[in-house]
Amino acid sequence: MTTPHLPGQPQLAYQGDELFMEQVRLSDLAKEYGTPLFVYSKACMLSALNAYQQGFSGREVQICYAMKANPALGVIAVFAQAGCGFDVVSGGELARVLAAGGRADKVIFSGVGKTRCEMRQALAARIACFNVESEEELEVLNEVALSMGVRAPISLRVNPNVDPKTHPYISTGLKSSKFGVAHERVLPVYQRAAALPGIEVVGIDCHIGSQITQEGPYLDMVDRMLDMVEAIEKCGVHIHHIDFGGGLGIDYNGETPPDATQLWKKLLHKLDARGFGARRLLVEPGRSLVGNAGVCVSEVLYLKPGEHKSFCIIDAAMNDLPRPAMYQAYHQIVPLRCPNRDADATWEVVGPVCESGDWIGHDRALDVNPGDLLAVLSAGAYCMSMASNYNSRGRAAEVLVDHHQSHLIRRRESIADQMRQEMPAPESAGSAAT
Ligand code: LLP
């Protein structure tokens, strides 16, 4: 029997015939906490962060974890303790950073629809920078800052019109996208920003997309950003920092994205060659810091062999793992106990949700029986953060593994948790019982 391929996850390995995350047997966690269960490796997250730190060594840089990838307080705390800043996109995310011990002065705030209330919250916390995405947002932020007697530090998120060559739903740097300020409006908007009394220009920002697996789009983006910085500074506006966004892909199914250490070394050469080597730099990685650090452990409920397709029904569903349904994404699925023979059947691995779109993997060769435990891999990013209560299913529990220890960082959502915010509607007068 060949051991299943475990993409990009050095902390995940079979020991004997059992799957371990670091020094913890995953089936023990399933027994203790139930399934579906998300399990994250602290060492894997820190080693992914280390790749960025190595790539930027000797430079003035702030790595801002894009916490939308995985906003668990226990995950944020790992990065905060390692000196990370955070890229947030809502008041809720900012509150999470502060609750987990992150520093407000290392927070940048992205997003096309910041409300006045969120702006006030972020100004009161004294965050490092707002990544402003439109001319109207700039005017509103100016008003809000003046009303509080402060100046708002800003970058403009510019849209460089670079194709990141990834799934269309996660491409953000094209002209047709809702994100950022169009290339041709960048100069007048910077001039306007510099003239507004409630605004302090501190940088420039861009983010072209997610799950990028080629270095070409990054290299193009860097060239365009540096062209823009030169043009803006010629107009007399100083750009203190350059933020290159996030987007670096991971290995889900044999993809070979550039390694952060190597990619950033190459990009820094470009900066040096154009005289920007000493500039303060920011990056906003999400998926590449947590994606391969996580798995979702799930139990096989039923097997339903059929003439055309055979279904393996597991207890995790599209509400826990929405990426296959949303982006036709591939996640590797492996057994927790390495089988002693090759699979002789292929299965549609599906969840219990009442939708045909509720699939986790198509045509997977697995030797499975009801009651077996499976791990859905590369589930650390954009799984729990996009999980829902669809079909009134409670969201899964989350565990952080650290060497031989495991810590519950989020308990399983109960039915009472789900109903806590709701109240019965009053009976209408006409329908009252007589
Ligand atoms: N910065 C900004 C402004 C972003 O919008 C994003 C992601 C990031 C940074 C982090 O990008 P990353 O390094 O994670 O690629 N739900 C989708 C991914 C959506 C990404 C949204 N923006 C998925 O499951 O593939």
Ligand 1 pocket: which of 132, 178, 252, 284 to mutate (most atoms within 8 A of CB): 284
- Atom 16 of ligand 1: nearest residue by CA position: 382
Q: Where are the domains of the chain?
A: 12-41+291-419, 111-283
Rounded distance from Cα 165 to ligand 1 centre (Å): 14
- Catalytic positions are 354
Question: Domain 12-41+291-419: which topology?
Answer: Lyase, Ornithine Decarboxylase; Chain A, domain 1 (2.40.37)
Rounded distance from Cα 86 to ligand 1 centre (Å): 13
What average pLDDT does the segment 159-164 reach? 79
- Note whether 12-41+291-419 and 111-283 share their fold: no
Rounded distance from Cα 93 to ligand 1 centre (Å): 14
Share of the chain above pLDDT 70, in %: 95
Each residue's pLDDT tens digit, 55-85:
999 999 999 999 999 999 999 999 999 999 9
> What is the predicted pLDDT for the residue at 431?
62
CA dist 315 and 302 (Å) reads 9
- Tokens representing residue 189 in the block: 């908007």
Ligand 1 pocket: which of 205, 210, 331 to mutate (most atoms within 8 A of CB): 210
The pTM for the full model equals 0.96
C-alpha pair distances (Å), 163 with each of 174, 212, 215, 250: 6, 10, 12, 18
Each residue's pLDDT tens digit, 379-394:
999 999 999 999 999 9
CA dist 75 and 399 (Å) reads 10
Rounded distance from Cα 246 to ligand 1 centre (Å): 7
Residue 163 has pLDDT above 80, yes or no: no
* DSSP 8-state secondary structure symbol assigned to residue 285: -
Each residue's pLDDT tens digit, 251-264:
999 999 999 999 99
* 6-10, 13-17, 30-34, 403-407, range with the lowest pLDDT: 6-10
- Using the atom order of ligand 1, give the atom closest to the CA of residue 209: 15
3-state secondary structure 6-35: CCCCCCEEEECCEEEECCEEHHHHHHHHCC
- Atom 9 of ligand 1: nearest residue by CA position: 246
CA dist 130 and 109 (Å) reads 5
* Banded pLDDT at 282 (limits 50, 70, 90): very high
Give the binding-site residues of ligand 1, using a 6 Å CB cut-off. Answer: 66, 69, 87, 110, 170, 207, 210-211, 245-248, 284-288, 323, 327, 382
- Using the atom order of ligand 1, give the atom closest to the CA of residue 157: 3
- Using the atom order of ligand 1, give the atom closest to the CA of residue 326: 24
- Atom 8 of ligand 1: nearest residue by CA position: 246
E strands in 284-323: 294-304, 311-314
User: SS3 for 208?
Assistant: coil
Q: What is the CATH number of domain 111-283?
A: 3.20.20.10
Rounded distance from Cα 206 to ligand 1 centre (Å): 12
